[in-house]
């Protein structure tokens, strides 16, 4: 049997994705059933219990494959990045409408109707996928209407086919967002989640964890002495961490030092991080 990364392939000793038949050992193989995330943000956990660690998150409108639903927990695989884990089954629903738009600002609100004075009925992160069925205007503010009857500010959406021109500018829009281990949304995000979401908004799907990104995004890069030759958009990797170059000397990253998405000089970051974790392990140019 070929070794498989359990983060990206759905297999356990008792159950596995039917597509892995002949590649992994399992008592039973099943085809994943299509479903969709209907929660604002869904925590994807290591195990089917509420105190299990969060590996990543999926957003409203993300499509998933469902392999098992038992005792309130669903074992799933996200179709956007292939990540496997457990999510509360209350976060899942049917794929009943094709998404037409994506949230293009870090955070936005849902209203029960097209009026910003109404009590908020929910919230969505950048990257959430919605289906717009109509429009309305109230006191000069334009709203997109959703199948649920809810409304969202139309200027906070863009068609799903449109992509941001600069993924670094997307990442910069998250400055000040709280750091959250496993976070992948505008409400809280970690280092590799920031890279993944920013690139997603620029039309590029990349893998979730920093070790995956260090092995797959773009091409390896060897900077010159004192790390010269780096440019905006390059990625800097440490063991378990990734940052984005905003210019030749500055990075942006979600980090546990400030507990925010923040800017930092590359040389300062290398000195600070190196004290505990060593120097950069690699550089890549998307």
What are the extents of the domains in the chain? Answer: 16-93, 101-159, 167-285
Residue 85 burial (10 A CB sphere; 0-12, 13-18, 19+):
buried
Task: For CA atoms 282, 236, 161, 39, give the dihedral sign.
Answer: positive
Would the CATH topology of 16-93 be identical to that of 167-285?
A: no
- Give dist(CA 66, CA 130) in Å, integer: 21
Evaluate if residue 159 carries a pLDDT over 70: yes
Q: Which CATH architecture has domain 16-93?
A: Roll (2.30)
Q: What is the mean pLDDT of the chain?
A: 97
Q: What is the mean pLDDT of residues 5-14?
A: 98
Count of Cβ atoms closer than 10 Å to residue 78 Cβ: 23
Dump pLDDT digits (tens) for 33-50: 999 999 999 999 999 999
Q: Is pLDDT at 1 greater than 80 in this prediction?
A: no
> Residue 146 has what pLDDT?
98
Res 244 pLDDT > 60: yes
User: What is each CA distance from 101 to 1, 106, 124, 201, in whole angstroms?
Assistant: 42, 15, 13, 12
C-alpha–C-alpha distance, residues 65 and 41, integer Å: 17
pLDDT given for residue 15 in this prediction? 98
Convert the pLDDT of each residue in 63-107 to its tens digit.
999 999 999 999 999 999 999 999 999 999 999 999 999 999 999
Domain 167-285, CATH class in plain words: alpha beta
pLDDT of 147 > 70? The answer is: yes
pLDDT at 2: 58
CATH number of 101-159: 2.30.30.40
Query: What pLDDT score does 148 carry?
Result: 97
Q: What is the mean pLDDT of the segment spanning 179-206? A: 98
């Amino acid at each position: 049997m070929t070794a498989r990364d359990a983060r990206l392939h759905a297999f356990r000793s008792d159950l596995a994705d039917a597509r892995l038949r002949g590649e992994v050992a399992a008592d039973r193989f099943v085809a994943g059933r299509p479903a969709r995330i209907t929660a604002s943000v869904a925590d994807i956990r290591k195990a089917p219990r509420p105190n299990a660690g969060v590996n990543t998150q999926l957003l409203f409108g993300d499509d998933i494959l469902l392999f098992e639903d038992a005792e309130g927990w669903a074992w799933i695989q996200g179709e956007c990045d292939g990540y496997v884990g457990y999510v509360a089954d209350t976060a899942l629903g049917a794929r009943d409408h094709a998404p037409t738009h994506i949230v293009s600002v870090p955070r936005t609100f849902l209203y029960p109707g097209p009026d910003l004075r109404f009590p908020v009925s929910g919230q969505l992160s950048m990257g959430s996928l919605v289906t717009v069925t109509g429009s309305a205007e109230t006191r000069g503010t334009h709203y997109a209407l959703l199948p649920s009857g809810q409304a969202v500010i139309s200027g906070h959406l863009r068609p799903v086919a449109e992509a941001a021109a600069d993924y670094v500018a997307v990442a910069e829009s998250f400055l000040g967002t709280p750091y959250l281990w496993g976070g992948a949304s505008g409400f809280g995000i970690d280092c590799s989640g920031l890279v993944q979401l920013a690139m997603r908004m620029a039309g590029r799907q990349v893998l979730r964890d920093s070790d995956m990104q260090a092995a797959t995004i773009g091409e390896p890069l060897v900077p010159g002495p004192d790390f010269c030759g780096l440019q905006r958009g390059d990625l800097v990797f440490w063991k378990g961490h990734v940052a984005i170059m905003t210019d030749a000397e500055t990075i942006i990253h979600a980090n546990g030092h400030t507990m925010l998405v923040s800017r930092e000089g590359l040389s300062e970051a290398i000195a600070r991080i190196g004290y505990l974790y060593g120097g950069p392990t690699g550089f890549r140019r998307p």
